[in-house]
Amino acid sequence: MHRTLTLTETIYTLEQLQAVPADVPQIAVAGRSNVGKSSLINCLAGRKKLAKISSTPGKTRSVNLYQAAPGDYYIVDLPGYGYARCSKAERNKWAELIGRYLAETPGLRAVAVLMDSRLNPQELDLEMVSYVHQSGLDIIAILTKADKCKQKDLAKRQAQWADFLRTGGKPMVFSSKTGRGRDKLWAAMDMAAGFDPEQLVTDVLDETKA
């Protein structure tokens, strides 16, 4: 099934958060700077330049809303956290924007938390996972850059995260370079947004036949 993402809103200020549609399901994507959020968005979309990618961490400096189709919900790319090469005032601004979005968005159904598969659990990642749990939101845990790790190292990292996640499962493994985990992540986001992945496939096939 062909999936698409379309950038519909770019939000830089707390005032602009009012433009976020309240009645449409949303799945937020959160993670430390340089964890691969933009690459993941592009992989899901099947496009190379939808989300801007840079070798410099902290490229995403806004809340970006992408409309997913089929399914009619939003995947929301949040600014990366933990990047120090900016002013304290700017870091605080990003933190407040992320916090307000997570706390005040009625349509938010889940948060996809991205963790670098090459690293042991980092403090900022643990804090984000804890915050999502405390907020009562569903969490989709993702280990990125899987193509840079051996399978035994990936298994070790999954086991490390299993206890922290408190979901009874392990984080999924994802590679934007190879596409590993892409379909599984789409299915997880569909379900979190309230859509049956198999039904979406059926609906698309019916529309094609019509």
Tell me: the pLDDT tens digits for 66-91? 999 988 899 999 988 876 566 777 77
Nearest residue to 31 (alpha-carbon basis) of 67, 59, 70: 59
Task: Spell out a b/e string for 159-191, using b for 16 or more CB atoms within 10 Å of the CB, else e.
Answer: ebbeebbeeeebbbbbbbeeebbbeebbebbbe
- pTM score, two decimals? 0.88
Alpha carbon distance 82, 124 (integer Å)? 7
Alpha carbon distance 147, 179 (integer Å)? 9
Nearest residue to 67 (alpha-carbon basis) of 2, 1, 3, 5: 5
CATH superfamily membership of 4-197: P-loop containing nucleotide triphosphate hydrolases (3.40.50.300)
CA angle centred on 116, ends 112 and 117, rounded to 5°: 110
Which of the pair, 53 or 50, is modelled with greater confidence? 50
Locate 116 and state its tokens.
Answer: 């670098």
Q: What is the chain's mean pLDDT, rounded?
A: 85
Alpha carbon distance 172, 195 (integer Å)? 19
Per residue in 187-202, pLDDT (tens digit) is: 999 999 999 877 765 5
Alpha carbon distance 174, 145 (integer Å)? 6
14 Cβ contact list (under 8 Å, min separation 6): 96, 97, 100
Q: CB of 82 within 8 A of CB of 33?
A: yes
Q: What pLDDT, on a 0 to 100 scale, did the predictor assign at position 205?
A: 45
Q: CB of 67 within 8 A of CB of 76?
A: no
Strands of the chain, DSSP E = 4-11, 26-31, 63-69, 73-77, 108-116, 138-144, 172-173
Query: Is the pLDDT confidence value at 96 over 90?
Result: no
Alpha carbon distance 179, 21 (integer Å)? 30
State phi, psi for 63 to the nearest 5 degrees. Answer: -95, 115
Which of the pair, 36 or 85, is modelled with greater confidence? 36
Per residue in 160-190, pLDDT (tens digit) is: 998 788 766 889 999 999 999 999 999 999 9
Q: CB of 41 within 8 A of CB of 50?
A: yes
186 SS3 class: helix
